[in-house]
Structures are given as C-alpha cells and as structure tokens.
Amino acid sequence: MEQITGKRWTTRLMLAAALGVGIASLSLSCPAMAEPEQKAPAPEQKQPAPVKAPPGMRQLSPEEVEKLKMGQHDAHAPQPAAPGTNLPKALELSETSFDWGNIADTEPVTHSLKVKNTTDKTIKIAVAASCGCTVGKLEKDVLAPNEEVSVGATFNPQGRNGPQTKTLTITVTEPQGVYAQQTVTLTSNVKALVTVEPPKVFLSEVDHREGKKDKVVVVGRKEGFDVVGVESNSEFLKATIGNKETVEENGEKLTKITIDLDVGKGAPIGAMNGQLTIKTNDEKGKPVTMFVGADVQGDVRATPPSTMIRAAAAGAEVSGQIKMDTRSGKPFRITGIELEARSDLKLVTDYSSGENGNGYIVTISGVAPDQPGLMQGTVVISTDSLGGETIRVPFTLTVPRTPTKAPAAGTNGTPAVAPAAPGAKKIEPMSPKK
C-alpha cells in the first residue's frame, strides 16, 4: 500500500473539511432538501346526518350526496327519469293503461284513475299530456304521505281517424331529491262519422281544351246519413252528388255517396288549387272540407316552365332563353310578350324562330342590377293557339356578391341559341316538321 506522508494527510483533511462546509451550505439554501414544516392537524369536520330515504328508495351514502352536490351523477343514485320511464315506489297508479275502444270523432271522451303518494313525505305532483288533444287534470297537486287523489284524462278525437295512442305523465316536482314519475297510456280507435276517400285529389296533365274528371266517395257511419250539398271555391271546379249505396264492411253498415269532380274546359293554364265543402245531414258534425288541385296544360308549352338567369357580376350583361312549341305539333304565332318585373330591372324580351323553324326561342336580355341579390319576375307570352292561349313563365335573376366566370349560353337547360338584340325584327316561324 501507498505510504501517506504528513503533508498528504494535511491536504486531504483540508479538502474533506471544505467539502463538508459546501454540502451544509447547499442543504440550507435548497427548500426541497429542507425539513418540511409541521402544521397543526385540521379540526375534524362534522358530517351531516344522512337523510332517511322514502320507503322503497335506496339510502344515499354521504359520498353520493357530495357527488350530487358537485353535479357528479352516480349510476346507482336516484336520477330524474327519462320520459316514459316509471320509477317505482314513490308514486303508484291504479292503472297504467286504458283503452276507450271504438269511439266517434264528435265528442271528447274522459276517464278517471288514481295516483297515490307512497313516500313518508308530503310531495307535490304535476301532470303533462303527450299532445294538445289530450288533457290531464289533478284533483289536487299536494299529497300527504299515503294520500290518493284522482287524475282525470280527456281525449278530443275531432279531426282524427283510426288507432290513437296518447299518454299522461305524472311527475313529483317537490321536494328536491325525490325523483319519480309514472305514465299512463291511453288508446282508442277513432271512427269518424264522416270521411272522404281519398281525403284530397290532384289531377295531373289536365288539357284545358278538354278538362278532366275524377270522383271521391263520402262515407257515413250514422244511420240515415246523407250528403245535402257540395260547394266549390273555383268556377272551373264543378262537383255534383252522384250515386248512393249502403254496404256492410267488417260487421258495420256504411253509407257511401259518390261526388263527381270536373275540371272543365277552358280552365286557366297553370296550377289550380281548389277546395270543396261537403255538407251532410249530421246536425252535430261540421262540414267536411277537402283539397282539389290540378295541373292545367294547353297546347302551347314552355321549356323550361321556369328559368334561372345568372349574372357574372353586378352590372354585367345577362341573357336567358325559353323554348316555345306545341304538344300537338301544330304551328302557332306569338302575338305579344310582356315582362312583369321590378322597374329597376333593365331587361327586355324578344323572340326568334326556333330550331329548324319549329316554334320560337324567347330571349330575356339586358343588364344586371348594380346590387347583388335575387330578383324575380314573369314573362307573359300571348299566342294565337286555340283562339288565344297565354303562357306565364316565371324567371329568377341572381347577381353574385363577387365576380364569377360568365356562364355559357344555354346553362338553364335550353339550346345554346344566340340572343336576339333588343328591337330586332321578329322572324315568323316555319311550319313544324310532319
């Protein structure tokens, strides 16, 4: 082993002493290495006495109570019920469902049931119905422990027909912490004393030169039922009382009366919306109203029946086209064009012969407004077809907020035909090809 001289021992002792002083200084200057401060123990907090749960409901632990206070829901703790959910023991219904069976649609029907407070607390309850046709009425809304009260249920079947399912829901609203609700289901089968089959009618592709006919059947369930009158709100929609017969269906005697419908010749071209009012001999029943619509078409047609014109930018030139021809293929002449639109729309209309001389191309051209937006108007085209058919073609002009690429001609689905300049000479059409 190495022999350590006196000088070496002295040197090593001095280094060790210096090292010890440095470590001590470091310990005093670093809080992480200092002794933790001893604090006095906090006084024990008194836990509130648990509230006794109502009969049939689980007692909450202090931890669960604290979670509820903090808004932390426990899957096992009593929670407000979802609609239609029955929470047991807090409320008890004498019955949870009731069926009125077959009922007429003329008078409301009622039923009474009982609801009981099964808790050892005084509670407050409320009742809510699933629709406006159903009403629930409480005998009283504050119930003492084990008290039972009546709940009245009323259903109004007017305007309804067939199977019906409605509900009443009774819910505990006070005190807080008692969550419970019970639901009673109310069913019935409404048999309207008067029905119309079908309940509405739409006649498509009605040729205004010929008109179109249809019919509906009025069904009555009351003995001695009869239709005493039918009124129409349109001079072009005629309705007359037709055949009457008594039949038996599913063990029930029914009276069926036919109403003949006629959209007559000369009805205005376009959409027709009519309404019939059917009066019966039922003193308690209201007159039955029904919708009758029709799409009246002439020989002259416009393609498309409405058009969209898109401007590239505000103040830009615009153009749109409408193709005119006849369903029969017969030649016709345009006798006039009018533009029904806002006065600030700088648009004009003109026409030229159509492709291969068949029909016409009506052009809407001009300058878009300086302000962006959507503007609407109508092109009214008069013809000599069938003594003077008039076609109304709605159009919409859209002006974008920012410039866009100008659309090519014919973007509205019509052939790309160069628009005629305003004031251009009108070209008479050629006879259509056979």
pLDDT for 383-398, tens place per residue? 998 778 888 888 999 9
Alpha carbons 382 and 364: distance in angstroms, whole number? 16
pLDDT confidence of residue 61:
60
- Closest Cα to residue 316, out of 277, 360, 372, 242? 372
pLDDT at position 168 over 60: yes
Percent of the chain with pLDDT over 70: 71
- Please answer whether residues 191 and 103 qualify as being in contact, where contact means their C-beta atoms are separated by less than 8 angstroms: yes
pLDDT for 254-310, tens place per residue? 999 999 999 988 888 877 888 999 999 887 777 889 999 998 888 898 888 888 999
Q: Where are the domains of the chain?
A: 62-191, 194-297, 300-399
Q: Which residues contact 18 (CB under 8 A, 6 or more apart)?
A: none
Alpha carbons 62 and 54: distance in angstroms, whole number? 16
Q: pLDDT confidence of 327, banded at 50, 70, 90?
A: confident
| Fold agreement between 194-297 and 300-399 | yes
Q: pLDDT confidence of 63, banded at 50, 70, 90?
A: low
- Please answer whether residues 127 and 170 qualify as being in contact, where contact means their C-beta atoms are separated by less than 8 angstroms: yes
- Architecture (CATH level 2) of domain 62-191: Sandwich (2.60)
pLDDT for 130-155, tens place per residue? 988 999 999 999 999 999 999 999 99
- Please answer whether residues 295 and 204 qualify as being in contact, where contact means their C-beta atoms are separated by less than 8 angstroms: yes
Mention the CATH class of domain 300-399. Answer: mainly beta
Long-range contacts of 175-180 (CB under 8 A, 24+ apart): 175/121, 175/123, 175/124, 177/51, 177/78, 178/54, 178/57, 178/90, 178/119, 178/121, 178/123, 179/78, 179/79, 179/80, 179/81, 179/87, 179/90, 180/81, 180/87, 180/89, 180/90, 180/91
Between the alpha carbon of residue 247 and those of residues 216, 219, 252, the distances in Å are: 16, 10, 8
- Taking domain 194-297, whether its CATH number is 2.60.40.10 is answered by yes
pLDDT confidence of residue 77:
39
- Please answer whether residues 173 and 126 qualify as being in contact, where contact means their C-beta atoms are separated by less than 8 angstroms: yes
